[in-house]
Structure 1
């Protein structure tokens, strides 16, 4: 894949990877104020000159990006970057923001729009709307309506609604089938901002949820019971700093991005891999104050990550 042109200073920052020697090495796509593919050797092999919210690298090397709103895309957008570098617009946002774009096995894309009429859409590769329904979230604060919506294997959808403090489960018709409450028990006034950001369905109906700002990662069983929680008390330091995105690996480990990692505490990693027994086996630091919003791990120790991408 051809690299896009970027400023030399940016490339210098991206190649100054401060990760110490570890037994695990990952390459990954990073989305945020800076968008790039980082090699396992700490060298950025590809960059994109716009801020992004979500992204996927497909099997053929095509990259799907959810682009932030800007002068170019007033309501955000979803774009496709071919292996030869050609960019194609898949969806132009019609409201305040486009917050996610998940490629499905059918070649469609699941996206959400935030605005006066928040909605989930499933669209074709050419931007044709196949399905849409309104999201049952608050409407006052557009930016805090929803984030990483995902289509599940049974054709239903998960959508985290931040200021509703819950992950909503929707039918294809938009009916709310259930909710996972992410508030801390006893926090009836929502003083702990456990805003759900990423929700990953895995295993036998389990759902892993990243709660940004509340600095918690929670795993629910199929009945909605909390069966696993990760907080900063479980880590070597205050490393969960706005944990926005996560990815579950085939070995059961979870990789988490801390969007605020590195801003106030330069020792806090941007990405970390944690085992089920809460041991940190890999970290990524880059010495920058700009965070990683979401990501996709591509390889581990040179081997492509197998199976469906759970992120």
Structure 2
């Protein structure tokens, strides 16, 4: 009897660490995965912005209705879009104080802190990109035409180093480039609804759309195209965020479209030859993660 009790106690001691370890860390589920990343992400269904450690643990969080764009700024603050009962963009300090905020009646699905301290805000249903100063005043308005359902208009928008703007349009299945005067100077067609786009330093444009990622040169020639057939171990849903790393790899935000799924990675890193070198696991607090910013890389994030 005493031997049996001693054996049971021994087994409990051995199994206890497995029972108490946090759910869904990459080290546990992918022990052979050499790449580790800490990152900032937004989660539409969870209505949160999360900061996740390389061990897969939530280090920081903040409530944000239907946030599809979140940034870690150089000063350590977090910039995020939000669309709920109130809509707009907000900058929050690490101790969760509001440092800046702009509100609007329009759906807002994107934001970007500009070099001059102003903030680009994507007003989808108002069909415009705007620049807002530190006082919350609109200092520039750039109208953006879009067809189809007004809700299915713009998602991400970005101001480029040359002063031009990129606008990603869902129903139109294009990314349009506008000059500083608001004139459309380029239109890049994609196979499905365009959600995100970035301009690389070499002039190429990388676009995330529903079902894939495409990179084109300044003449719209396709240089790289990532689709489901390239990824046997990752199921693609809607690519709503992309980040190009300094090593040439691409981090992909694989949005699950208003459902919680466990059949694929919400975020992953892929090499130019389309090998997946990192996959984020679904934390138990996550529902349908959207935007991502890798935090353990140097320099301004290309996203």
The alignment's TM-score, normalised by the length of structure 1, stands at 0.83
Q: Does 1:87 align with 2:87?
A: no
CA deviations over 1:61-118 (Å, ceiling 9, x no partner): 1111101222xx0xx11111113321245210232x0111101111111111122x41
User: Aligned residue for 1:12?
Assistant: none
Alignment of 1:244-263 (within 5 A): 244-260=240-256
Pair 163,67 (structure 1): closer, same or farther in 2 beyond 3 Å: same
User: Aligned residue for 2:113?
Assistant: 103
User: Aligned residue for 1:16?
Assistant: 23
User: Aligned residue for 1:119?
Assistant: 128
1:203 Cα deviation (Å)? 3.4
Any gaps of 5 or more consecutive residues in structure 1? 1-14, 184-193, 300-304
1:236 Cα deviation (Å)? 2.1
User: Aligned residue for 1:298?
Assistant: 295
User: Aligned residue for 2:64?
Assistant: 50
Task: Determine the C-alpha separation between the residues in 2 that align with 1:250 and 1:79.
Answer: 28
CA RMSD of aligned residues (A): 1.8
Task: Determine the C-alpha separation between the residues in 2 that align with 1:261 and 1:279.
Answer: 24
Task: Determine the C-alpha separation between the residues in 2 that align with 1:121 and 1:261.
Answer: 27
SS at match of 1:256: strand
User: Aligned residue for 1:128?
Assistant: 137
Q: Does 1:195 align with 2:193?
A: yes
1:286 aligned to which of 272, 282, 285: 282
Contact 2:25 2:57 in 1 (8 A): no
Contact 1:77 1:89 in 2 (8 A): no
User: Aligned residue for 2:15?
Assistant: none
Pair 222,156 (structure 1): closer, same or farther in 2 beyond 3 Å: same
User: Aligned residue for 1:39?
Assistant: 53
CA deviations over 1:141-196 (Å, ceiling 9, x no partner): 1221011100100011001111111100001121101100113xxxxxxxxxx101
User: Aligned residue for 1:27?
Assistant: 38
The alignment's TM-score, normalised by the length of structure 2, stands at 0.85
Task: Determine the C-alpha separation between the residues in 2 that align with 1:50 and 1:208.
Answer: 27
User: Aligned residue for 1:236?
Assistant: 232
1:287 Cα deviation (Å)? 5.6
Task: Determine the C-alpha separation between the residues in 2 that align with 1:133 and 1:261.
Answer: 29
Contact 1:101 1:109 in 2 (8 A): yes
1:263 Cα deviation (Å)? 5.0
SS at match of 1:53: coil
Quick check: which one's helix share is greater? 2
Contact 2:234 2:265 in 1 (8 A): no
Q: What number of residue pairs does the alignment pair up?
A: 273
Contact 1:32 1:293 in 2 (8 A): yes
Q: Which moved more, 1:261-270 or 1:272-281?
A: 261-270
Pair 135,108 (structure 1): closer, same or farther in 2 beyond 3 Å: same
User: Aligned residue for 2:76?
Assistant: 61
Contact 1:261 1:270 in 2 (8 A): no
1:153 aligned to which of 136, 146, 161: 161
Contact 2:262 2:282 in 1 (8 A): no
Task: Determine the C-alpha separation between the residues in 2 that align with 1:83 and 1:106.
Answer: 22
Task: Determine the C-alpha separation between the residues in 2 that align with 1:41 and 1:236.
Answer: 25
